[in-house]
Structure 1
Amino acid sequence: MHIGTLRIGEGGNLDDFREAAVDVGGDLTVDSLQWRNAHLRAHGTVTVRNRADLTGYTGAFDASGNPVRTKQVAAIHVFKGEAHWDGAASLTGPGAIVVDPGAVFHDHKETPPGAPGDPGIVRIDIALVENRGHYLKQGAGRSGIARLVDLGHGAPGRYRGPVRRQCQQPRSL
């Protein structure tokens, strides 16, 4: 399925959109994606040709039944342009993110550590991040990629590709 712009979970608070979801039976290609407080479930690959905005979070519960802020990545998501993640919640799930050559994945986690509203460290904790383009960390907030290095021990999740950090003063990674 190919559509122009897919905009899901707009505005309001999480309680208004807990059940908002888009379900696709196969592959989905969009020119642009605005994925806010909603579930995006595809049984194929999700390809975004231009800009993707991954903002907000969806409701989930931990093993004890406590609410957890997360954005579930259950399919393979291929970004061919610029992807912008606000870092409001961790990206979790069995899916993958592929940043194509020439594309940029912007990590905008802004809230400084200890500031009001800081959710703590947020992570990209999915099966695979395949960075063929650029991963750019921006902002003062704490974020990270879980299982950054695959040590060849059959780890279920891994990251491949470079990471750059944009900051006021040059620092080594």
Structure 2
Amino acid sequence: MKCWKYMLLGAGLFGADQILKQMVERDDPERYPRKARHTGNLLKLYRNHNDGFPFGFLRNYPQIVKMIPLVMTSAAAGVLARVMSEKHATAADRTAWTLITAGGLSNLLDRLRKGYVVDYLSIDRKIVDKVVFNLGDVGVLLGNILTTVSVFVRDHRKAVDSASADQGELR
């Protein structure tokens, strides 16, 4: 089993997110928000400190805001370890849980060290322009989408195989 490529993916996502967060934190706050260069005005850069969950949810309960991500990220790491050790796990499953765990760890590190998560990106389009996120969030989102698609594909294949087997028995 070649887990090194997943470890590189996870380390790359975690490292890139942490580096971008540090760059934003060290930069002059007066420079934010601003358009991100080379994105065709699609992305906007922010310097947000999110001390709650999305949209500030539960910000007045800092212990809960630290403990829930700790539990969820620990669970994701456990699933990742299981998926990596399974002989028949798919690349999609391994990639998905790597993204979820690495993104979660990056945000968890912020919460534990600073008491908030640094968010720095927004898509500059009307429907989503109020949502500010970071690369770790993107990893968690993509990992969850990949997991969902993988489950649907697997279930569809089982249904097709079962239908084929039933057709074979009828003949």
TM range (shorter): under 0.3
- Which has the larger share of helix? 2
Highest RCO, 1 vs 2 (Cα 8 Å, sep ≥ 6): 2
The TM-score with structure 1 as length reference comes to 0.21
- Which has the larger share of strand? 1
The TM-score with structure 2 as length reference comes to 0.22
